[in-house]
């Protein structure tokens, strides 16, 4: 199968005065049509920047993004406008991503106004109501303002907006991390249902590994701007190779007191180091319990350790 999207050596640096903040430092992966690609990592690992650069909200420092056989970073503003309709984004904070002065109807209808799609007001309204129903809201909500809704309802409004232009690919940037657990399932189920109904492809960015495992077909693990490991989600969770992935998995509390009490966990020491001017070494070396000399000197290559299972670790085969 041909990938829908191919990310090649994507880089995004920010000049922060005291040096280069290498938020995304050369990541490559493919996303296939109809799949959900999970991107996980701790805060500051660059996963959100990667998502935003992929849909070109940020201009990349370097790299390619192939969509429909074209590198979309080469497109002009005008050509980009058309491609934009295929790419959408669902934001993390349902409180910040909806303009407080607009009604729900105006918010969901904004994409139509931007692209001037409906000449007929009635038709536009009909389509807006369809979208609201798709996410489980009704016309009684249309005239209300965002602050009158709960977090989960707001996120559903955001999803309705992102579906307006019939996109093929949606970047979900931590869409559930600001929500209550009971509501998270609601939104995840909705996303899954919409994927089946509309044939959507997702890039699902999150720090909640159990949720990512649940929703994704393949998962990539990022640390300090680089991809540490990438595999089918079952494979990644059952046979993690990279020491960072292992630590990450063991840190997740399991909601079962019996299991949780006997669990052995790897508690990583220290915090994620600063992504400003990182040194030429394995990014994880300072916290890695397996680090040896070479890890301090050389950035490990991101390679296929097992079929369809990639990792960037010098000791991938030994540990």
Positions 186 through 215 that interact with another protein (CB under 8 A) = 186, 188-189, 207, 209-211, 213-214
Q: How many CB atoms lie within 10 A of CB 110?
A: 14
Min dist. Cβ of residue 46 to another protein (A): 14
139: contact with another protein by CB under 8 A: no
The verdict on 67 binding another protein (CB under 8 A) reads no
**Binding of another protein at residue 2 (CB under 8 A)?**
no
SS3 content of the chain, % helix, strand, coil (to 5): 35, 25, 40
Nearer to another protein by Cβ, of 228 and 247: the residue is 247
Give min distance, CB of 96 to another protein, in A: 4
> How many degrees, rounded to 5, is the angle at CA 226 between CA 221 and CA 232?
30
Q: Which of residues 3-62 bind another protein (CB under 8 A)?
A: 42-43, 52, 55, 57
Count of other CB atoms within 10 angstroms of residue 281: 16
- List 133, 166, 260, 298, residue binding another protein (CB under 8 A): 260
Q: Which stretch binds another protein (CB under 8 A): 24-32, 59-67, 247-255, 303-311?
A: 247-255
b/e per residue 186-210 (b: at least 16 CB within 10 A)? bbbebbeebbeeeebbbbbbbbbbe
Which span (21-29, 90-98, 290-298, 309-317) binds another protein, by CB under 8 A? 90-98
Nearer to another protein, 152 or 300 (CB): 152
What is the spatial distance between Cα 12 and Cα 225, in angstroms, rounded to a whole number? 9
CB of 98 to another protein, least distance (A): 6
Between 268 and 312, name the residue whose CB sits nearer to another protein.
Answer: 268
**Chain centre distance of CA 11:** 16
Token pair belonging to 319? 């540990």
141 to 160: interface string for another protein, x by CB under 8 A: x-xxx-xxxxxxx----x--
DSSP conformational letter for 9: E
Among 68, 99, 166, 277, binds another protein (CB under 8 A): 99
Q: Does 240 bind another protein (CB under 8 A)?
A: no
- For the CB of residue 306, give the shortest distance to another protein in the complex, in Å: 20
Binding another protein (rule: CB under 8 A), the pick from 23, 27, 72, 137 is 137
The yes or no reply on residue 176 touching another protein (CB under 8 A) is no
Query: 3-class SS at 308?
Result: coil
Report the C-alpha gap between 200 and 196 in whole angstroms. 7
Residue closer to another protein (CB basis): 163 or 311: 163
* Rounded CA separation 104/110 (Å): 10
The H-or-E segment that residue 123 falls in is helix 121-134
Nearer to another protein, 265 or 297 (CB): 265
Residue 105 CB, nearest distance to another protein (Å)? 12
Structure tokens at 4: 């829908």
Residues in 264-293 at the binding interface with another protein, rule: CB under 8 A: 265, 267-269, 271-272
Cβ atoms 159, 128 nearer than 8 A: no
CB neighbours of residue 156 within 10 Å: 23
């Amino acid at each position: 199968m041909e990938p829908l999207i191919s990310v090649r050596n994507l880089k995004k640096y920010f000049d922060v005065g005291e040096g280069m903040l290498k938020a995304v430092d050369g990541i490559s992966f493919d996303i296939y049509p109809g799949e959900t690609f999970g991107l996980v990592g701790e805060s500051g690992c660059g996963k959100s920047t990667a998502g935003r650069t992929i849909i070109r909200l940020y201009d990349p420092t370097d790299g390619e993004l192939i969509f429909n056989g074209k590198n979309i970073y080469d497109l002009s503003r005008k050509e980009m406008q058309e491609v934009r309709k295929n790419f959408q984004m669902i934001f993390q904070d349902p409180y910040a991503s909806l303009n407080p002065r607009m009604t729900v109807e105006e918010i969901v209808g904004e994409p139509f106004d931007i692209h001037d799609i409906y000449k007929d007001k009635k038709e536009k309204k009909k389509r807006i109501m369809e979208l609201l129903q798709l996410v489980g809201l009704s016309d009684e909500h249309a005239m209300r303002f965002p602050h009158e809704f709960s977090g989960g309802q707001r996120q559903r409004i955001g999803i309705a907006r992102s579906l307006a232009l019939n996109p093929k690919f949606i970047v979900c940037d931590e869409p559930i991390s600001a929500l209550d657990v009971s509501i998270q399932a609601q939104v995840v189920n909705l996303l899954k249902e919409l994927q089946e109904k509309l044939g959507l492809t997702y890039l699902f960015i999150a720090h909640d590994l159990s949720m990512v495992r649940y929703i994704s077909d393949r998962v990539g693990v990022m640390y300090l701007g680089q991809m540490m490991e990438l595999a089918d989600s079952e494979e990644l969770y059952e046979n993690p190779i990279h020491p960072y992935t292992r630590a990450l998995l063991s840190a997740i509390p399991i909601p079962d007191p019996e299991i949780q009490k006997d669990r052995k966990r790897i508690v990583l020491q220290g915090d994620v180091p600063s992504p400003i001017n990182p040194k030429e070494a394995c990014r994880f070396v300072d916290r890695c319990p397996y680090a040896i000399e070479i890890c301090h000197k050389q950035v490990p290559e991101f390679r296929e350790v097992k079929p369809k299972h990639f990792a960037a670790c010098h000791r991938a085969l030994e540990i």
